[in-house]
Structure 1
């Protein structure tokens, strides 16, 4: 550990014995990292043991265990409560930091949150740290409108992914505004925290250089969210909308996101009823909820169209090309 170490890496992990070592080591190799706090969130596969075995002997690793699964929001809050470093960096247990991430990311000090680009890596085979291009930093600040619009999916366009960014957060800002993850959320807990921070005036800086490797797997927990999770997420938007004195333009953006998530919830609720009691009961539910009917009808039609398009699409060989969350220009040498 160097005298400049000031980052706490927070890793919430459930049944991540196969990936936790890579995640921890990517944090411990960074000279700016003062602490790596792993919270084993009710695992049944030896995650805690694998985490402890990744210790490098520097005294920076701490592994905490929860007896039952509490969800990523609770686990992250638990780690934050058991750490002291002034900067907090979230790392998913499947993922890893690219070498030298924090040296590049923390070069400037004009932010409360700062995030860099993410490279998505196919997790179906052996995961190797990629050799990413040197992208232009092109720093910019993200406002609440850009953030919320970047979390709304639209047909014919890339899905809203700006909430996937993994910013380094200044602990003093979180503490001064009483901000922590909402523990009832198991979907969109990052979105909700960042939205509340921006409403409170956070300076959210983005640089386009790449420092975070996200491993994409078909069985990721985020892909198996419950219908209830969608309901809690749009209710989180409503909680922000209830803040007194919220500017009209911010409220309008939040309402757009709330309607987007509520539409996804209504479609999932319709499909749940169809699966449990049949199409007629599901149809009665749709007719009894006229405000939800457009989202249900549009969602069903979109699903059928996507399925038809997938059947008609020619088989193409898989490509190993890397994908990045943010568009960026390669530095010309």
Structure 2
């Protein structure tokens, strides 16, 4: 008898049993507590891409408020990370997406805070020369959210757009895209410090929450909720559009008593990015944003850049709202 089996372990005659081959691992940031979020650098198994996924060596990622919400819904030890920039080590085996060696950015599936990530080929686009990794990684979540919010609003030329939470990554991008589309833009922020630089990005009016705007608007892009949303909604002209993509104050959305008949034709749209991308051409939309950066029409530089091996600085900055724009973790 050449082979025999004992206790579930296979043996070859004349050779001692061999231990299983060790699993290859990579370093990744995983959650240790959700609220407040804490992370730990651990060794995790190498990603195993599906046929429609690309294996990416990660160069940079970013920290979003969405990550805080996702962390609260997942058990300790979970990976996170939506924004990804890196180099394609292995293209998708089904033949789709970027080729090996391409420098790419895109949306990962909560696994970008790692040395390697498997990312869907239809969630990536190639980064053009002239755009840095740390600039490119600011665009997937924030850039696509702003772009889709304004597309939901429709025609921009000659309109007046009000952007709440305008100091954040999405808000700053929405201000620039609305202005590039021909809209007059009012940026509404929490304080004078939070409004710094927004006039340079195209906002004609920058005001704080203690001094609400009073001019009628055609478009409301809101991420704040509560009284800010209610006030902004009250400024909409008939036929206007409110696009809501967040609720940072975690309050009920309230409408004025005359919300309907006083504003005929007004629409309220809710945007959830991870659902929206299922109906969008993500590579083409990311390429559009990158082309605007190359052309000098969109500023995408991070507000804070910190090493991924020490993420606490980034987490503290996100909770304290001390950073204008995106928080980027460099690998």
Superposition TM-score tier, normalisation by shorter sequence: under 0.3
More helix by share: 1
Bigger-Rg structure (1/2): 2
More strand by share: 2
Q: TM-score of the superposition, structure 2-length normalised? A: 0.25
Higher RCO, 1 or 2 (CA under 8 Å, sep at least 6)?
Answer: 1
